[in-house]
Amino acid sequence: MIQRNKISFAICALAICNTLSSNAQSILPPVIDWHGKSEALIAKPNNPWITAAEKSDFVSTPDYNTTMSWLKKLSAASPLLTMISIGKSVEGRDIFMVIASTEKNITSAALKHSGKPLLLVQAGIHSGEIDGKDAGMMLLRDIAFGNKKDLIKNVNFLFIPILSVDAHERSSPYNRPNQRGPQNMGWRTNAQNLNLNRDYAKLDTKEIRAVIKVINGYDPVLYMDIHVTDGADYQYDITFGGLGLQGNSPGIARWLEEIYKPSADKDLKANGHIPGQLLFALNDRDFSQGNILIAGGPRFSDSYGNLRHMASVLVENHSLKPFKQRVLGTYVLLESTLQLLAREGQSLKAITKADRAIRDAKVPMAWKVPQMENAVNFERLADIQQSANPAIAPDSMVFAGIASRLVKSSVTNADYIEWLGKPVTEKIVNYKGTEPIDFITRPKGYWIPASCEEVIERLKLHGIKMDIITQPREVVVEMYRIENAKLEDENHKAQPYEGHIQVSGTTKSETRKQLFPASSVYISTDQPLGDLAMMLLEPTSKDSYFSWGFFHSIFQRTEYMEAYVMEPMAKKMLEDSPALQKEFEEKKAQDKVFADDPNAILTWFYSKTKYYDERYLLYPVGREL
């Protein structure tokens, strides 16, 4: 009886909750009716390999167990498909990958040896943005048992159906209120509440570590990461691209712009889709002030790929288009990509090889564009809009938009956008940050002391080649003393970000003869991942291990002198040096706080003795010039 009462209370509470938060799906902006040739890709109801999403008429998407047991069955039934685990999540789920290949031997070495271009596609890095999984399942079915076998005749295809496997099971109809289906969506961050698409540089998560292992093992010629947008309304259903003219792989960037994009656009259009470039509203609301293309740094999959000279395509399907339309568009894009790689894969390989041979004498640590992740910093965007800086080069584009109007809110009293569902074509400003900034001179290599175990381990995981010394070695290196350190994130907020307290500061160089103990490592920058090594090891890089907080221990001074030692010593130092006496008097005159702080005064004298901790604020990585 008591239990029944409890249950009815729970149901009642749930009912109230549902009434209070009305269904977001019914509030979304109007949808434009869509039909396209790609609808013919949907399996007939009597097809024994119909996918769960097709069966539901794209109302829902299958859970992890259903997805994996279906793919296991499919792989077992086809000699063209093999399913392997590439790692386990923190909650113990296997992260599976399907290898589609006509090769008999499908080890990474054998596939590399085959000489065929290899495409790596991952879905569900943000597990609620799951279109890639359902599209990939359909495509693999058609490769195995339909009429698409030829797609892998000259290309090897690796497909990760769900990357963020734990978050995929944190499924709910309430997870992505701005997205039009499926009815059950996974969570954005993994079980540790970390965003996998901010983890490519630091490598905290098992999921991204698993992907990097695949990248290092199979060396894909093209890497695709499939998402669904949030934000503004427009006509495009499938938006995708590389970094444009930003980034460290000029040949690859041109190939993506000039070869890949036109080819994929053509195929998407021929199948009834509306392809577009990656779109990010400058004002984070609508496109009245233009679009801006962002290079976010190697914490993101596309920037990371670019930095290691691997063609990388970010796909952002439009969240306000129906799930069916998005999945079918993704299928077309995948098929188009495989077809293009069969034709142009070798040319991309050659271009990739050339980009990997570049050793610029100076490497930019950033590109001049505002940070726009999470909450947009309107102040900085306003600066950009008003700036006459040619770095933020405006260009214009013909934009297939959706009409909107500003509505006065009765809740906040501010204006908000209402999307009206009517297509409009307009010319808008298209900002591109193409100016590299914060250049660092390329050293011959980096010396990392054995004490930085965790950083060395992560550099190894990236596939960066290193020499480990077995005997201590004294080396003349340039080292940085960190000044003006601030423990805050890039938006100047002193709060944790992705589980880290970030730090920034300025660097002052010192030339030192430094002893590196046995087990220290040397990393030459004369390697294809040399630029990546620089981005991870230069403290001024926003994605360096320094910035992510892996070197916080240098901010602590651990040895000290007692006053009964320091007082007489300071007195003697003043007697011995009139210059020091003068400097001391001037400092006191200029700095009242210092003059009134006996501790600060003694520390000042201490810092001028040989007893002072000379490693205080010293970034322990050495640059060999």
Write out the two tokens for 494: 């002193």
**185 - beta bridge partners?**
172
Q: How far is the CB of 85 from Zn ion (least distance, A)?
A: 24
Q: Choose between 286 and 316: whose C-beta lies nearer to Zn ion.
A: 316
Positive/negative CA dihedral, 247, 252, 258, 262: negative
Which residue's CB is nearer to Zn ion, number 144 or number 293? 293
Q: How far is CA 538 from CA 119, 305, 623, in A?
A: 31, 19, 9
Q: Is the peptide bond before 182 cis (omega within 30 degrees of 0)?
A: yes
Residue 324 corresponds to which amino acid?
A: K
Site for Zn ion in 5-44 (CB under 5 A): none
In 404-526, which ranges are continuous DSSP H helix? 453-461
Nearest to 592 by CA among 601, 603, 582: 601
C-alpha span between 421 and 337 (Å, rounded): 31
C-beta of 169 vs 316, nearer to Zn ion: 316
Give the residue with the Cβ less far from Zn ion, 251 or 276. 276
Output the smallest distance, CB 276 to Zn ion, in A: 16
With both helix axes pointing from N to C terminus, report the angle between 323-356 and 261-270 in degrees, rounded to the nearest 10: 160
**Residues between 116 and 145 with contacts to Zn ion, criterion CB under 5 A:** 126, 129
Using CA of residue 186, residue 184, residue 144, residue 42, what is the dihedral sign?
A: negative
- Give min distance, CB of 188 to Zn ion, in A: 7
Strand partners, 477: 512
Please, what is the minimum distance in Å from the beta carbon of residue 280 to Zn ion?
13
Least distance in angstroms from the C-beta of 116 to Zn ion? 30
Give the residue with the Cβ less far from Zn ion, 126 or 324: 126
Binding to Zn ion (CB under 5 A) within 222-281 occurs at: 227
> Distance between CA 49 and CA 140 in Å, rounded?
10
309 is a site residue for Zn ion (CB under 5 A): no
User: In whole angstroms, how close is the CB of 517 to Zn ion at the nearest point?
Assistant: 43
> Which lies closer to Zn ion via its Cβ, residue 133 or residue 227?
227
Mark residues 574-593: x for contact with Zn ion by CB under 5 A, - for none.
--------------------
Q: State which residue, 129 or 267, has the beta carbon closest to Zn ion.
A: 129
The answer to whether residues 122 and 163 touch, using CB atoms and an 8 Å cutoff, is yes
The whole-angstrom distance between residue 526's C-alpha and the CA centroid of its chain comes to 25
* Closer by beta carbon to Zn ion, 229 or else 246: 229
E-only strand ranges, 409-503: 415-433, 436-441, 445-448, 467-468, 473-486
Task: Give the nearest distance from C-beta 370 to Zn ion in angstroms.
Answer: 19
Distance, CA of 554 to CA of 558 (rounded, Å) = 10
Give the span between the Cα atoms of 477 and 512, in whole angstroms: 6
- If the CB atoms of residues 49 and 159 are measured against Zn ion, the closer one turns out to be 159
DSSP 152: G
Give the C-alpha separation, 258 to 263, whole Å: 9
Distance CA 97, CA 120 (A): 10
At 482, list the tokens: 């960190």
Nearer to Zn ion, 319 or 520 (CB): 319
| Among the listed residues 28, 237, 45, 63, the one whose alpha carbon sits nearest the alpha carbon of residue 134 | 63
Closest separation in Å from C-beta 381 to Zn ion: 21
- Least separation in angstroms between residue 293's CB and Zn ion is 17
Question: Which residue number, 301 or 352, has a Cβ lying nearer to Zn ion?
Answer: 301
Distance CA 92, CA 291 (A): 41
Least CB distance from residue 373 to Zn ion, whole Å? 11
User: How far is Cα 250 from Cα 311, in angstroms, rounded to an integer?
Assistant: 10
Whole-number minimum distance, CB 197 to Zn ion, in Å? Answer: 6
Give the nearest distance from C-beta 319 to Zn ion in angstroms.
10
Tokens found for residue 51: 């996918």
Tally the residues of the chain. Answer: 625
What distances in angstroms separate CA 450 from CA 515, 552, 617, one per listed residue? 11, 16, 18
Which lies closer to Zn ion via its Cβ, residue 293 or residue 523? 293
Q: Toward Zn ion, which CB reaches closer, 93 or 227?
A: 227
3-state secondary structure of 341: helix
CA 344 – CA 349 distance, rounded (Å): 9
Task: For residue 284, give Cα distances in angstroms to 146, 232, 288, 381, 390.
Answer: 43, 8, 10, 10, 22
Cβ proximity to Zn ion: between 169 and 538 the closer is: 169
CB of 126 vs Zn ion, minimal distance in Å = 4
Structure tokens at 526: 């004369």
Closest residue to Zn ion, based on beta-carbon distance: 227
Cβ 227 to Zn ion, closest distance in Å? 3
Across 259-285, b (16+ Cβ under 10 Å) vs e yields bbbebbbebbeebbbbbbbbbbbbbbb
Phi, psi of 127 (to 5 degrees): -70, -15
Residue 126 vs 462, nearer CB to Zn ion: 126
- Which of the stretches 220-228, 281-289, 302-310, 489-497 binds Zn ion when contact is defined by CB under 5 A? 220-228
Q: How far is the CB of 316 from Zn ion (least distance, A)?
A: 7
**Residues near Zn ion (CB under 5 A), total:** 3
Residues that bind Zn ion (CB under 5 A): 126, 129, 227
